[in-house]
Amino acid sequence: MTTVDPTREPEEESAVETARGQLERAAAHLDVDQGTIERLRQSTAVYRVAVPLERDDGTTEVYTAYRAHHDDVRGPYKGGLRYHPGVTQEECVGLAMWMTWKCALMDIPFGGGKGGVVVDPKELSRGEKERLTRRLAQELRPVIGPMKDIPAPDMGTDPQTMAWFMDAYSMQEGETCPGVVTGKPPVIGGSYGREEAPGLSVGIITEQALAYYDTDLEGTTVAVQGFGSVGANAARYLDDAGATVVAVSDVDGAIFDPDGLDTNDVEDHDETPGMVSGYDAPQSLSNEELLTLDVDVLIPAAIGNVLTATNAHEVQADLIVEGANGPTTSTADRIFEERGIPVIPDILANAGGVTVSYFEWLQDINRRAWSLERVYDELETEMLSAWEDMRTEYDSRDVTWRDAAYIVALRRVAEAHGARGLWP
């Protein structure tokens, strides 16, 4: 049973609807009591705050922000904070749910949270972004904290945003609290390797998936939608490992070279916006055309809901590895299942981000930094172990890769609920 109505336009499907449908599919394979499933269909709480900002011209603007707490049975709520004009309450709840499964699948002791401000960060000056972030930290202060809920970078936010957030929180608490957010600059308790981690994990998991299907990485063609922090690091990792990255894109369009792009030469969108589509490549394409290229591996690493009922039949890739959160609608997922195109889910592929966030949190608590080498080593170990857990389920049942990942995650979360019980 799924909650998805296939007659509806997939674009209308919200993240929370997609997430609930995925939960129900996994639940069908496990013996989890209905009360626990009902709790997991909901989020524990969603906070909505108004964030006033004094603009540079002296006027005041009030922005809406949300923080969703999905489930914390395994540890503090954990998840990104995005600045994006399309942020909604429903989206935050869906994304928070995905964080619950992501942390459980990685077996790290965090629950799921997510938040965002309804704002276009490109329209704010640096000073405005700083004031907005500081005021947001103050508004959310009652519901976050190093042992309660730990935000991190996401779309439209970065290490500097986390530094301002941590500073504002710490000033109010009267003590330096590095563990209140992750993804900070290393100089104030951030972890080495955190920024590139989601992209690296996409690369590591793509290698595993190709090996599973007996495909040699050497010469494998790859298209990556989105050349920001996730996409650029994934593309460069795979390029350096021998794959042929034929197409990458930013919000303005894609570049294509059938002989392979030099991904280390293309500046990423976060470094210099517009440099990707402006790069001197043999051919330019639209983002939509990139998704339907005849490649071995397609990595959607930009935004959610890009693989839909409208284009899923046109996709020619043999393997899809999700770099973004929620790039595939439920309808598209069913189409790929019917067409036999494996989709390696976001909750595993991009989980390097939250995994190194966990390493960062440990370093903050212990006040002891790890070397980059240690971060990379431990990240690889964690990714391979989670891959094995998912693969074991995949091999033992007639399910998709996403179902297999959800089964592992749901089992862990449900067992934790069973052990802790319902109080009172």
Min CB(262)–ligand GLU separation in Å: 28
Query: Which letter does DSSP use for residue 149 in this model?
Result: E
Identify which of 146, 212, 145, 134 has the alpha carbon closest to the alpha carbon of residue 171.
134
Min CB(115)–ligand GLU separation in Å: 10
Identify which of 186, 232, 185, 219 has the alpha carbon closest to the alpha carbon of residue 296.
219
Would you say 296 or 322 has its CB closer to ligand GLU?
Answer: 322
Would you say 132 or 354 has its CB closer to ligand GLU?
Answer: 354
Written as one string, the DSSP assignment of 245-289 is EEEEEETTEEEE-TT---TTTSPPTTTSTTTTTTS--SEEE-HHH
Would you say 154 or 322 has its CB closer to ligand GLU?
Answer: 154
Min CB(223)–ligand GLU separation in Å: 22
What residue is closest to ligand GLU based on CB? 80
Min CB(397)–ligand GLU separation in Å: 26
Give the separation between CA 202 and CA 387, rounded to whole angstroms. Answer: 12
Cα–Cα distances (Å) from 194 to 30, 102, 339, 352, in that order, read 34, 16, 36, 8
Three-class DSSP category at 63: strand
Min CB(83)–ligand GLU separation in Å: 12
Would you say 157 or 244 has its CB closer to ligand GLU?
Answer: 157
Give the separation between CA 358 and CA 404, rounded to whole angstroms. Answer: 23
Note the helical H segments in 174-254.
Answer: 197-212, 229-240
Residues with active-site annotation: 114
Min CB(282)–ligand GLU separation in Å: 34
Note the helical H segments in 53-158.
Answer: 89-105, 126-140
Would you say 309 or 344 has its CB closer to ligand GLU?
Answer: 344
Binding residues (CB under 6 A) for ligand GLU: these are 78-80, 102, 152, 154, 182, 325, 350, 353-354, 357
Would you say 152 or 321 has its CB closer to ligand GLU?
Answer: 152
Give the separation between CA 3 and CA 25, rounded to whole angstroms. Answer: 10
How far from chain centre, in Å, is Cα 407? 19
Cβ atoms within 10 Å, residue 270: 14
